[in-house]
């Protein structure tokens, strides 16, 4: 391995990316893959030559990545190439709630509920986009290609009042006050380097399979029966996530690096070519040269398409300014990550972009963090996966401003692996994979992997996020399943066969202290604060193996649990609730927005689906369940099932051939308002009183996008 790698020597001057700045030409050799940068940062393209430098950087890096993959294929050695790599992988405490709702039977209906749930956000004051939004009396739902406006109060009068077709594939939305909804959809638009197949596809397929543009549609919802488009913004790229703080929407987009027509990733098939090594090498060399010519023939306007804004019958083209781009001074693969600020108060739009692939996103009220991965060009023992974290100041409502960057070992599992302390320190939980030699099989190019986990604290210092402290290495051979940092307390769950819950004292940013560890069967995939001393979790129960015998997988089940963490040194699992059979699942296990905890009423609602063949019946649907499960949750008494709102009839009516990637009739979200519970699916919204959840008060059917025969 070493002798093979030694033939890859530096052939170009290090600049820009830190490894490659001048063009590759025939006969030049790919430079050694640089190590991890411990002083990561962003370098903006500035001055009179900003656009020339940006184009040069894009083309040089594209040639480097193209040659890395094709020469590795040509020479029969492993390489990450363009498509390879390591993979990418609450609200604030409020245990008190508001006043209880009146249960009087003869009192006139209230104008609005006293208490109601909204989106389960990670950080107080930072709203997260979702396909459902409500304000107590109205629920807005994206289903299929339409925005549905539903009157939800009084509960027994729940009904659809208006719909609006949204271009492409609608994904998520925000509400802004009482008069605006902001909808994000994915669409296809023609660009010089676009996939031409997108031209012929229908609207939803253009948004799903061929999407290359994010459309932001601002809708007037003040009159629910007459929804009206106010403004449409078209931004090249793919939708990743969005946050809203006050009137400012922070939209995180990523964009692929699109290669020109005629570009090839391998030689055309010719009989006998792969048997003749000399001809095969010549064929690879030929397409490498041809690919480079194609890359360098493109213009910057083709690499970086402009945005468009439509309003009041006018269309404004908004080019992406070269000075809005920055490059990472460490190896990351080509792509674009953009933080787009839309200020709804003044219709302003601003973009700040990094040339890198996207990772996880976290936002506090003042800062937004974007993670990107270190790129190893080919695998070799000694390499460790690493994440670069870039911090942006979003305290100004009109723009995100780059502040600092840092480096952490490992990769980030999800947004809950990140948190900003009141002191401004950034805490991050990672799973670390390191490639080591395969001592059993020395001819194995790839080696083998060692895995462990860590909690790291970073502090900002002169444009750098530097490590101020970190935990000991945790749970060797396991990986992070979930984590949560709440105030000065940290919680990490790893998994291999049992579920270790690690607890941390983070009160001193210069000293991470692991306080306790609890091992129990199964694992948690989401942890939610329930007051200052308890965690409410959802995950999977898995029995431990006994005497080395295989675990009976049919004994597994969805598991709800309560943990007492008042003593971090001695965390305890105090209550457990198993739900359904081994076939059961809930979107809340992987999507925190489906997890609906209502502290004012001590209630938890989760969407649930299951299949139980022992329930009888002569067809599949007799054994199928799709409902919203509701539990009373108390740290002392545990879980008390309150019932379920069933939605199986919507499956039975629609049948499986009416489902698609963008439309399924299973329950996915919920809203709770006073004593009423709303189950929400793509097919409709059903509401019932908590006292008798099995008897619906009203069902608002959402119109199907396409009717199949």
- What's the token pair of residue 367? 């800062």
**What average pLDDT is seen over the chain?**
87
β-pair type (307-311, 314-318): antiparallel
Orientation angle between helical segments 277-297 and 50-75, nearest 10 degrees: 170
Q: Which of 420, 353, 358 is nearest to 388 (CA)?
A: 358
Longest dimension (CA), the chain: 90
Q: Please, which residues have CB within 8 angstroms of residue 208's CB and are 6 or more apart in sequence?
A: 169, 186, 661, 662
Phi/psi at 605 (nearest 5 deg)? Answer: -125, 135
Pull the structure tokens for residue 651: 């499956």
SS (H, E, C) 214-279: EEEEEEECCCCCCCEEEEEEEEECEEEEEEEECCEEEEEEEECCCCCCCCCCCCCCCCCHHHCHHH
Quick one: pLDDT at residue 480? 94
**Can you give the pLDDT at residue 47?**
93
Q: Where are the beta strands (DSSP E) in 380-447?
A: 386-393, 401-409, 418-420, 426-436
- Give the predicted TM-score (pTM) of the model: 0.89
Q: Residue 327 is inside which H or E element, if any?
A: strand 325-328
Q: Give the start-to-end residue ranges of the domains of the chain.
A: 2-84+262-291, 124-257+334-358, 361-579, 597-709
Residues of the chain with pLDDT under 70: 1-31, 77-108, 195-197, 199, 497-499, 613-621, 655-657, 705-709
CB-based contacts of 203, cutoff 8 Å, min separation 6: 145, 167, 168
Q: For the segment 663-674, what is each residue's pLDDT rounded down to a tens digit?
A: 888 899 999 999
Is residue 230 within 8 A of residue 311, CB to CB? The reply is yes
Q: What is the pLDDT of residue 86?
A: 27
Q: In this predicted structure, what is the pLDDT of residue 20?
A: 37
């Amino acid at each position: 391995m070493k002798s093979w790698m030694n033939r890859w020597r530096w052939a170009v001057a290090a600049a820009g990316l830190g490894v490659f700045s001048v063009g590759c030409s025939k006969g030049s050799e790919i430079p050694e893959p640089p190590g991890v940068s411990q002083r990561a940062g962003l370098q903006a393209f500035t001055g009179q030559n900003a656009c020339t430098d940006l184009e040069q950087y894009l083309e040089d890096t594209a040639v480097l990545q193209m040659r890395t993959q094709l020469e590795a294929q040509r020479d029969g050695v492993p390489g990450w190439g363009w498509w390879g790599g390591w993979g990418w992988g609450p609200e604030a405490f409020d245990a008190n709630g508001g006043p209880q709702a009146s249960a009087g039977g003869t009192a006139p209906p209230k104008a609005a509920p006293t208490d109601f749930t909204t989106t389960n956000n990670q950080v107080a004051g930072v709203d997260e986009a979702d396909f459902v939004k409500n304000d107590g009396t109205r629920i807005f739902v994206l289903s299929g290609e339409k925005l549905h406006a539903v009157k939800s109060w009084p509960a027994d009068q729940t009904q659809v009042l208006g719909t609006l077709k949204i271009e492409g594939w609608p994904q998520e939305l925000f509400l802004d006050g009482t008069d605006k909804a902001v909808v994000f959809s994915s669409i296809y638009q023609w660009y010089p380097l676009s996939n031409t197949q997108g031209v012929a596809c229908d609207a939803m397929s253009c948004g799903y399979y061929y999407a290359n543009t994010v459309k932001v549609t601002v809708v007037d919802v003040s009159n629910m029966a007459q929804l009206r488009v106010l403004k449409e913004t078209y931004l090249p790229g793919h939708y990743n996530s969005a946050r809203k703080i006050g009137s400012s929407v922070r939209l995180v987009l990523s964009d692929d690096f699109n290669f020109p027509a005629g570009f090839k990733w391998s030689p055309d098939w010719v009989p006998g070519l792969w048997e003749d090594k000399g001809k095969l090498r010549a064929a690879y060399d030929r397409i490498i040269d041809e690919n480079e010519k194609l890359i360098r023939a493109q213009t910057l306007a083709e690499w970086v398409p402009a945005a468009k804004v439509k309003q009041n019958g006018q269309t404004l083209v908004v080019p992406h300014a070269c000075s809005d781009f920055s490059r990472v001074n460490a190896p990351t693969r080509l792509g674009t990550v953009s933080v787009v600020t839309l200020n709804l108060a003044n219709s302003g739009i601003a973009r700040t972009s990094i040339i890198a692939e996207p990772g996880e996103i976290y936002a506090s009220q003042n800062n937004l963090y974007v993670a990107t991965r270190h790129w190893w060009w080919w695998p070799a023992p000694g390499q460790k996966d690493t994440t670069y974290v870039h911090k942006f100041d979003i305290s100004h409502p009109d723009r995100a401003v780059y502040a600092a960057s840092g480096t952490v070992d490992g990769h980030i599992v999800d947004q809950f692996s990140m948190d900003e302390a009141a002191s401004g320190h950034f805490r991050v939980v990672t799973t670390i994979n390191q490639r080591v030699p395969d001592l059993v099989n020395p001819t194995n190019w790839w080696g083998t992997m060692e895995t462990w986990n860590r909690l790291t604290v970073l502090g900002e210092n002169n444009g750098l996020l530097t490590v101020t402290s970190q935990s000991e290495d945790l749970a060797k051979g396991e990986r992070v399943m979930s984590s949560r940092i709440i105030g000065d307390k940290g919680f990490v769950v790893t998994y291999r066969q049992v579920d270790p819950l690690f607890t941390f004292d983070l009160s001193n940013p210069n000293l991470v202290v692991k306080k306790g560890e609890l091992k129990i069967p199964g694992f948690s995939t989401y942890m939610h604060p329930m007051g200052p001393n308890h965690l409410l979790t959802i995950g999977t129960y898995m029995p431990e193996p006994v005497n080395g015998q295989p675990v009976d997988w049919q004994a597994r089940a969805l598991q709800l649990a309560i943990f007492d963490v008042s003593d971090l040194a001695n965390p305890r699992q105090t209550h457990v609730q198993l739900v359904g059979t081994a076939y059961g699942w809930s979107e809340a296990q992987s999507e925190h927005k489906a997890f609906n905890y209502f502290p004012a009423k001590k209630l938890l609602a989760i969407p649930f689906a299951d299949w139980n063949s022992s329930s009888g019946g002569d067809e599949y649907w007799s054994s199928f369940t799709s409902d919203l499960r509701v539990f009373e949750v108390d740290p002392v008494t545990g879980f008390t099932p309150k019932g379920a709102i069933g939605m199986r009839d919507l499956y039975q009516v629609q049948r499986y051939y009416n489902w698609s990637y963008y439309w399924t009739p299973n329950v996915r979200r919920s809203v709770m308002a006073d004593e009423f519970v709303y189950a929400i699916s793509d097919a409709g919204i059903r509401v019932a009183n908590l006292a008798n959840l099995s008897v619906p008060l009203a069902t608002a059917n959402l119109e199907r996008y396409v009717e199949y025969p």
